[in-house]
Amino acid sequence: MLIQLTYASRTSPNIGPADIKDILQSSQRNNGILGVTGALCLANGIFLQQLEGDRQAVNQVYHRLLRDSRHTDPAILDFGEISCRRFGAWNMGLISAVPDNRQLFLKYSNTAHFDPYLMSVPTLRAFFDEVIQSVRWLS
Ligand SMILES: Cc1cc2nc3c(=O)[nH]c(=O)nc-3n(C[C@H](O)[C@H](O)[C@H](O)COP(=O)(O)O)c2cc1C
C-alpha cells in the first residue's frame, strides 16, 4: 500500500551545511534501497519533509530519523494513502530558503515567516504540489 507522510521538525542548534549534506546523502542512499521518495524543505529553522512509498518502508524511515539529534519537536502533519507517487524521480530532493524560493515559502504561510506547524492539510498539499511543479527552483 502506497502512503504519504508529512512531518515538521526544528533544526537543532549548531546544525550546519555539512549536516544537511550528510542528511541528503544518507536519505538518497537509504530511501533508494527502500523505494521511498520525497522532498525535504528547510526554512526558518524548520524542516518540512514529505515521504512517500510503501507503508512499512515509510514507517521504517520515519522511525529512524526520529532518533536523529540534528532535529527536535517532530510533529506529523499529514498522513494517508495515495494513489500514485508525486516525487517518483527523487529519493530525497532539498528545497532550501534561497532568495528564489522565499516567495514560494511565503505564498503558503499565514504568518510573516514560514511555519509549517501552523499550516492546514490542504495548504501543505498545495505547497508540495507547487514544489513538484517548480523543480527549476531546486538548489
Ligand atoms: C530532517 C531529517 C530528515 C531525514 N530524512 C531521512 C530520510 O528521508 N531517509 C534516511 O534514510 N535518513 C534520513 N535522515 C537521516 C537519519 O536520521 C539517519 O541519520 C540516517 O538514516 C542514517 O543512515 P546511515 O547510517 O546510512 O548514514 C534525516 C535526518 C533529518 C534530521
Q: What is the CATH number of the domain that holds 76?
A: 3.30.70.100
The whole-number average pLDDT for the span 61-90 is 95
CA of 64 to the centre of ligand 1 (A): 7
pLDDT at 136 over 90: no
State the pLDDT at residue 137.
44
* Those residues with Cβ within 8 angstroms of residue 22's Cβ, 6 or more apart along the chain or in another chain: none
Judged by average pLDDT, the poorest of 29-33, 101-105, 106-110, 125-129 is 101-105
pLDDT at 122 over 60: yes
Cβ atoms of residues 71 and 12 within 8 Å: yes
Best CA proximity match to 112, nearest among 44, 25, 14:
44
pLDDT at 119 over 70: yes
Domain count, the chain: 1
Best CA proximity match to 121, nearest among 81, 76, 74, 78:
78
Range of the domain at 106: 2-137
51-70 burial, b for 16+ CB within 10 Å, e for fewer?
A: bbbeeebbeebbeebeeeeb
Ligand 1 test: best mutation among 6, 22, 27, 77, most atoms within 8 Å of CB?
27
What are the pocket residues of ligand 1 if the criterion is a CB atom closer than 6 Å to any ligand atom? 9, 23, 26-27, 29-31, 40, 47, 49, 61, 64-65, 68, 70-71, 92
State the pLDDT at residue 89.
78
